């Protein structure tokens, strides 16, 4: 596949085998077709995510709705993202909405990366001019006492003067990594016609299929009202067979129990039978990734 990409005038650079394999699987192990898909992905990323990440300042209106939540890792080690449809309204700014979709998918994928105490220490020492040899014992003690959310609040006031700390506490910096997959829950509880966004759902699925191949592990739909059935049927026309096979419409108690077992009580939100609290995606702290 790397040679096929070169023939198209591009390069795989330092891209690892797991990521390339995702494109191959998506194109039935056809190297030439996978290479074309990969090059299109490169062009798309350079256009839509030139800095490696979507700044939260560019998607403020979408974040204000607090409709997307990023939980912990499932029992199989896959990050769980939850979307509450009742909090969503079709966007008037499609450019912002598409960037929001990218932000959500990128950050959910990045959730697979464990928090690095070393990364936090490095950011502190670089930004605050702390000498590791003399002050790391104090740094260790401080970090062990303060929760990351508390640290974020404390540092908010100096974020404009602290780019290293800001990269940790504000956004997902970097690129897609490895072969991690994500689990998505779409909750349709209490939705009305004003929440229906066919174009938005299609956009999300099209992005997953074209630019995030083999990233989706499962897509659970909960509390689907009768009036949404026909809408869903229309949306499925835009879904590839591989994507549709990963969609699970939870409609009875047995399926809900299976959902709890697959994800785990400690990660699944209380609203769906678990023990976890919903965490807005913008409030989740992730470690920075090196480009």
Looking at residue 138, what is its pLDDT? 52
Looking at residue 14, what is its pLDDT? 84
What average pLDDT does the segment 191-215 reach?
96
Read off φ and ψ for residue 273, nearest 5 degrees: 100, 5
Which tokens is 217 given?
């592990």
pTM of the model as a whole:
0.78
Looking at residue 116, what is its pLDDT? 40
**CB-based contact 44:211 (threshold 8 Å):** yes
pLDDT higher at 121 or 287:
287
Closest residue by Cα to residue 282 from 186, 185, 164, 170 = 170
Looking at residue 252, what is its pLDDT? 93
Confidence of residue 133 (pLDDT cuts 50, 70, 90): very low
Looking at residue 178, what is its pLDDT? 57
Looking at residue 96, what is its pLDDT? 97
> Which segment of 76-85, 123-132, 178-187, 254-263 scores lowest on mean pLDDT?
123-132
pLDDT > 90 in the chain, percent: 69
* Res 21 pLDDT > 80: yes
Sign of CA dihedral 260, 264, 266, 269: negative
Which tokens is 136 given?
């790391």
Beta bridge partners of 8: none
> Which segment of 52-56, 66-70, 134-138 scores lowest on mean pLDDT?
134-138
* Res 272 pLDDT > 80: yes
pLDDT higher at 17 or 116:
17
What tens digit of pLDDT does each residue of 224-256 get? 999 999 999 999 999 999 999 999 999 999 999
* Res 167 pLDDT > 70: no
Confidence of residue 128 (pLDDT cuts 50, 70, 90): low
What average pLDDT does the segment 182-189 reach?
97
Beta bridge partners of 62: none
CB-side neighbour CA atoms (13 Å) of 90: 12
Please state, in angstroms and rounded to a whole number, the distance separating the CA atoms of residues 23 and 4.
12
Confidence of residue 16 (pLDDT cuts 50, 70, 90): confident
> Which segment of 97-101, 174-178, 210-214 scores lowest on mean pLDDT?
174-178
* Res 54 pLDDT > 80: yes
Closest residue by Cα to residue 88 from 74, 72, 77, 101 = 101
Closest residue by Cα to residue 26 from 9, 41, 6, 43 = 41
Please provide the size of the chain in residues: 291
Query: What is the average pLDDT value for the chain, to the nearest integer?
Result: 83
């Amino acid at each position: 596949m790397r040679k096929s990409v070169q023939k198209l005038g591009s390069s795989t650079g330092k891209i690892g085998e797991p990521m390339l394999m995702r494109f191959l699987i998506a194109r039935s192990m056809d190297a030439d077709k996978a290479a074309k898909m990969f090059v299109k992905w490169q062009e798309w990323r350079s256009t839509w995510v030139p800095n490696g990440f979507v700044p939260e300042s560019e998607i403020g209106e979408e974040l204000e709705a607090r409709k997307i939540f990023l939980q912990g890792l499932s029992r199989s080690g896959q990050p769980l993202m939850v979307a509450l449809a009742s909090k969503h309204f079709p966007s008037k700014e499609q450019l912002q909405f598409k960037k929001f979709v990218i932000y959500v998918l990128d950050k959910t994928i990045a959730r697979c990366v464990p928090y690095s105490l070393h990364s936090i220490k490095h950011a502190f020492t670089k930004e605050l001019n702390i000498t590791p040899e003399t002050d790391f014992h104090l740094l260790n003690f401080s970090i062990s006492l303060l929760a990351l959310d508390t640290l974020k609040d404390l540092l908010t006031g100096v974020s404009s003067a602290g780019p290293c700390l800001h990269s940790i506490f504000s956004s997902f910096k970097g690129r897609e990594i490895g072969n991690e997959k994500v689990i998505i829950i779409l909750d349709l509880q209490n939705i009305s016609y004003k929440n229906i966004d066919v174009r938005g759902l299609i956009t999300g699925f099209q992005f997953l299929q074209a630019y995030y191949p083999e990233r989706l592990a499962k897509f659970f739909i909960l509390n689907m009202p009768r009036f949404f059935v026909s809408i869903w049927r229309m949306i499925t026309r835009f879904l590839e067979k591989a994507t549709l096979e990963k969609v699970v419409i939870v409609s009875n108690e047995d399926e809900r129990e299976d959902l709890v077992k697959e994800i785990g009580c400690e990660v699944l939100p209380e609203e769906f039978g678990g023990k976890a609290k919903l965490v807005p995606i913008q409030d989740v702290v992730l470690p920075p990734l090196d480009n």
